[in-house]
Structure 1
Amino acid sequence: MPPREQAPAVSLEKLTKTAPGLVSLYKEAGVSLEKQGLTGQRAAVYLVLDRSGSMREYYRNGSVQHLAEQALGLSANLDDDGVVPVVFFSTDVDGVAELSLTEYAGRIEELHAGMGHMGRTNYHWAMEKVIEHYRESGATDPAFVIFQTDGGPYSKAAAERALCRAAELPIFWQFVGFGDPEGKGFDFLRKLDDLPVPEKRVVDNAGFFHAGRDPRGLGDAGLYKELMVEFPDWLAEARAAGIVRD
């Protein structure tokens, strides 16, 4: 069943007044949604950020901050308040915060700098934190999670279990890889993306694409295009399975 509403969650007029720096991203995200027939779709947008030691340069050069702004541009189309909950993870969950249309400039580096040691890579703790936050929020719209990482997790079995359990919830996980596209760590994400249905999970609730060594070089339009590749199919499958209810 198509979305009932036919307009973005936050109007262009409101965004221009509150967050003029996000207008271009908002428009690019809107174009991608329109191409998929998702204008008017509502969803909570989450951002999960890898803080393992190998991510240091991506925080330093602004790649992570820009991804956060891209997430806000998408959220302004999908979520009425445009707020993006952010989960930072490494060995464990390093911190949880929010980005808003009025508080985002330089915010990622500020938060990151206050979290201290950058550890290893464990997806499942971050996934469980997103699930906990979503359940406690009382949301009725589905969630779209942008899950950024530059490698595979140390606890692969735990990550797979978390994803399979989460398939029964109205949460879609879009994994985004930073770094060497040939890196062996991404083999696990390709496997995770292809976990069989229904043998392992009730619906296909995840996608994966690689943004490369220079994620900003992908461009905003390219990023939004990749984000929307599998989300529409998941929405249809999740509605058919009664997981998403409009």
Structure 2
Amino acid sequence: MAELARGENTTIPSGPVTVAVAGARQGTVDLMVFQLGADQRVRSDADFVFFNQPASPEGAVRLVAADRIGVDLAAIPAGIERLSVAVALDDSVPGSLSAVPGLGVQIAHTAGETTAPALGLSTERAAVLLEIYRRNGAWKLRNVSAGWDTGLSALVVHHGVQVDDQPASAEPAAVAPPPAVVDSAGVRTVAGEAKLSLEKRQRLDLRKREVAKVLLDKGAAGVRARVVLVIDKTGSMHREYTSARIHQVVERMVPIAVQVDDDGTLEPYLYAVSFARLPDIAVHDVESWCATYLHLGGVHGGIDYEQIGGYNDELPVMGEIISTLTAGASMPTLVLFFTDGGFHKKGPITALMKKASGLPAFWQFVGLGKANYGVLEKLDTMRGRVVDNAGFFSVDDISQVSDAELYRRLLGEFPDWLRAARAARIVG
């Protein structure tokens, strides 16, 4: 039986699936499913399956017991891209989900069984345990194990369910964060910055201004994009991790997300032979995120780092990111990819980059240290792409590169790609 670590995913066959949740019990730990469209929200409240509404409108998702869900993947409507399997403590139950013994999911499908233990939960009273989602015509599972301290109300609002009788004392975390504020210089301020110390806010502000200046100079002021951060976790990165230079890299990437991402967050991956999709990085929790997730080995935040491996294979993580892209999408993606070498599979990587050139993402690769970067060093002469969709540069010691210079090199080619991608209708 395969087991998914937190953030790990696997492909399953289309057909009948049974999802059993250990620890779920009506009136104590309530089980529910959200059918989500491309916007990651329910189409209507009818897509919220729980004990008072035990079936989806077309009957493809059914709550067959207090701890069990039946799913017919072949019958899921075309407009549904994701099923979010979640649990929430009843209001009468004190404490958090971390106190529920053995909480986790067992999925039975036509190819066998997969387990997804709830990992890394601490103070959450509601959590998404598992996602079942479409990728390139196939169905996949992902162990999510992430949630909300404020419980059920935050969970359902996040997924777009209307809450008519929300108590007056409901906490702010249960509602959408306020929109970003933009000053006269085009510098954005997002929710969470107020939680930072004065010193950190000042440093963040200076960096945001450098990012805004680069984008303004390149004719891309006000551009919006999803920002993905990919970090090498191979053994040769030992010095970058132990010196905390990689922690500084994460901190310096956050201002880019604040300036261009709608919600100001980074979508991070760690990779080696395999990869892990980690929880998003928000501006106010960079330090705690780095302390939890930037490791080369062991188990941290519910993720087994040994399963990610210790040497380079870029194809799996690149393929996963590509699988999240849709040609013609209005929102472009900026991939910031940090590595200390590898990329030796020249043929497959070249083929992948050619395929990706027709999709709405720009790949900015950054080499850390003196190394052989393989095919990355040939990007400028790579033929057969719809548009030039990637850039590469390397630095001996990134901590010695000024913010102004770093952002200039990171963002210098992205606006040019975006104009070309829009002209080619790759970006809507």
User: What range is the shorter-chain TM-score in?
Assistant: 0.7 to 0.9
Q: 1:18 to 1:244 in 2, by over 3 A?
A: farther
Equivalent-residue separation in structure 1 for 2:293 and 2:192 (angstroms): 24
1:161–1:108 CA distance, 2 compared to 1 (3 A): farther
Give the paired residue count. 230
Residues 91 and 120 in structure 1, CA contact (< 8 A), matched pair in contact too: yes
Aligned positions of 1:1-246 closer than 5 A: 11-12=188-189, 16-19=193-196, 20=201, 22-113=204-295, 114=300, 115-117=304-306, 118-134=309-325, 140-180=330-370, 183=371, 185-196=372-383, 200-212=384-396, 214-245=397-428
Change (3 A) 1:225 1:15: farther
- In the superposition, the TM-score normalised over structure 2's length comes to 0.50
Q: Hey, what's the Cα distance between the residues in 2 that align with 1:108 and 1:95?
A: 14
For the Cα contact (< 8 Å) 1:174–1:206, is it kept in 2? yes
TM superposition shift of 1:211: 2.1
Alignment partners' CA distance in 2, 1:155 and 1:99: 30
Deviation per CA, 1:192-223: give whole Å up to 9, x if none. 34312xxx2111100001122x1110121111
1:169-190 CA distance string (max 9 Å, x none) = 110000000011xx3x224211
Distance 1:78 1:133, change over 3 A: same
- Per the alignment, residue 158 of structure 2 pairs with none
Report if aligned partners of 1:44, 1:78 keep a CA contact under 8 Å in 2: yes
Query: CA, structure 1 residues 144+234, in 2 after alignment: closer, same or farther (shift >3 Å)?
Result: same
Residues 129-150 of structure 1 show CA distances to partners (whole Å, capped at 9, x for unaligned) of 2223455xxx731011101111
- Aligned AA for 1:116? Y
The alpha carbon displacement at 1:85 in A equals 0.4
Identity %: 32
Q: Output the CA distance in 1 between the equivalents of 2:311 and 2:380.
A: 22
Q: Give the conservation status (yes or no) of the 8 Å contact 2:214–2:412.
A: no
- For residue 104 of structure 1, give the secondary structure of its aligned residue in structure 2: helix
- What TM-score do you get using the length of structure 1 for normalisation? 0.84
TM-fit CA distance, 1:12: 3.6
Aligned-partner SS, 1:103? helix
Structure 1: give runs of 5+ residues left out of the alignment: 1-6
* Alpha carbons of structure 1 residues 205 and 93: separation in structure 2 relative to 1, 3 Å: same
Change (3 A) 1:234 1:77: same
AA of the residue aligned to 2:418: L
Q: Given the superposition, is the C-alpha separation of residues 90 and 145 from structure 1 closer, same or farther in structure 2, using an over 3 Å criterion?
A: same
Q: Aligned equivalents of 2:226 and 2:385: distance in 1?
A: 22
* Deviation (angstroms), 1:15: 6.5
Q: Distance in 2 between matches of 1:241 and 1:108?
A: 38
Instruction: Give yes or no for contact 1:10–1:79 (8 Å, CA) kept in 2.
Output: no
Higher helix share: 1
* Stretch deviating more after TM superposition (80-89 or 125-134): 125-134
Distance in 2 between residues matched to 1:53 and 1:13, nearest whole Å: 35
Q: 2:32 corresponds to which residue?
A: none
Which residue is 2:58 aligned to?
none
With over 3 angstroms needed to count, the CA separation of the structure-2 counterparts of 1:11 and 1:232, relative to structure 1, is: closer
Ranges in structure 2 where 5+ consecutive residues have no aligned partner: 1-181
Residues 248 and 399 of structure 2 are in contact (CA less than 8 Å); yes or no, is this contact kept in structure 1?
yes
Q: Which has the higher strand share?
A: 2
2:344·2:374 contact (CA, 8 Å) conserved in 1? Answer: no
* CA–CA separation in structure 1 for the residues paired with 2:278 and 2:192: 25
Find the residue that maps to 1:235 and give its secondary structure. helix
Contact conserved, 2:193 with 2:284, CA < 8 A, in 1? Answer: no
CA distance in structure 1 between the partners assigned to 2:190 and 2:346 by the alignment: 45
- 1:129 and 1:42, CA in 2 relative to 1: closer, same or farther beyond 3 A? same
Q: CA deviation at 1:30?
A: 1.3
Instruction: Supply the RMSD in Å over aligned alpha carbons.
Output: 2.3
Aligned twin of 1:3: none
Rg (Cα) greater in structure: 2
Q: For 1:23 and 1:61, how far apart are their aligned partners in 2?
A: 25
